[in-house]
Structures are given as C-alpha cells and as structure tokens.
Amino acid sequence: MPQDNKDIGDKSGKGHDDDVVLEIATPNGVFRGSFDKNDKIADVIEDVVKDRELAQGDAFELYFGDVNLEPITRPLVSFGLKEGKYKLTLVATGSGV
C-alpha cells in the first residue's frame, strides 16, 4: 500500500473527528498514515513496522518530540494526540542497536 495513502482500520460509523494523521520518521523512511485517536500505541508501531518493512522481531519505541509514548497499551488520545496532524519518530531499541 502506498505510504502517502495509508488508511488504517475500518472507519465505518466514525466521523473524521476521530482521525489522527501521523507522519512518522523511521529508520526505513517516512511513514504517513491515518489512525483512530483511540488506537493503541502498540498497534501504531506494529502497522508502521510492517509498512516500512522493518525487522519484525526488533523492539521499537515511538516518540512525540522528546516524549516516549509509553506504556504502549495506552491510546493515542491519552498522550494528547487527537484530531489533527502530528510528527513522530520511531526509534529502534534493544541490544541490536
């Protein structure tokens, strides 16, 4: 799926007010996509790793500026990421880095 037109999840029954548009810098290029504000950070990381063809077994963390978006079980909106566009960074972590 083209990175500039990525639309994650089924938005049926949901208004566009629930959309969070993310531009995420990764070790394998920039990911651009739309998520529901209630999607969990873990789901965002999983989708970005798959889309950008990053190593599936590696550990990654998502940052909004200097803020590490943890725990990854929390939704985007709990970090203040709601309606609008945001720039994030996906960082590889762990012993392989």
What are the structure tokens assigned to 97, written together? 């880095």
Mean pLDDT of 10-31: 79
What is the per-residue pLDDT across 56-87, written as a single tens digit (0 to 9) for each?
Answer: 778 999 999 999 999 999 999 999 998 899 99
Q: 25: domain range?
A: 3-93
Domain count, the chain: 1
Domain of 29, CATH number, reads 3.10.20.90
- pTM (global) more than 0.85: no
Q: Which helix (H) or strand (E) holds 49?
A: helix 41-51
Amino acid present at 75: P
Which sign, positive or negative, has the C-alpha torsion 2, 80, 45, 91?
positive
Q: Edge-to-edge strand order for the sheet containing 84-93? A: 6-7, 29-36, 19-26, 84-93, 59-64, 67-68
